[in-house]
Every structure is written in structure tokens, then in C-alpha cells.
Amino acid sequence: MIKVMTKYLKVDLIDCYGISLCDTKEEVIEGCGYDVDEITFEDLLVRMEGVYEIVEVTGDFKLKWICTE
């Protein structure tokens, strides 16, 4: 059985589009300032609408960060 890798991009829509790469849903929750026992991932998505954009990335992927000024 092949395990599909899943990562999450957390894009801050308020603070100049800062981006975090998270390994788990729990890491996303904590990165948004909540404890994992305090809120579910699904409720977090609703609560953070307009503040963070959460993107689930699955499969074999490569990220290339390009910064232009």
C-alpha cells in the first residue's frame, strides 16, 4: 500500500500573505492560535475564513519558493 503524502499550506490573508507549510491538521490548528482540544479542523476552516486560506496538497509534489521585489 502506497501512503499518499499530505501537507497543508496556511496562507495569512491579513499579514501580507505570509505562508506556512504544515505537516498535519493539528499543526494548522496550533498555527492559527488554537489548542487541538479546543476546536476541530473543520470548525477552524469556518472560523478562519477571510483570515487564513488553508490549502491541502496531496501526492508527490515539489514547492519552489520564488520571491521577487
User: Do 18 and 67 form a contact (C-beta atoms < 8 A)?
Assistant: no
Residues 24-46, mean pLDDT to the nearest whole number: 96
Three cell numbers at 56?
Answer: 491541502
Residue identified by cell 490549502 is 55
User: Look-up: residue for cell 470548525?
Assistant: 43
Question: Higher-confidence residue: 11 or 61?
Answer: 11
**pLDDT attached to residue 2:** 66
pLDDT confidence band for 60 (50 / 70 / 90)? confident
Q: What is the mean pLDDT of residues 29-44?
A: 96
Positive or negative: CA dihedral 30, 14, 51, 12:
negative
Task: Tell me: pLDDT of 33 over 90.
Answer: yes
Give the model's pLDDT for residue 48. 94
Provide the residue type at 56 as one letter. E
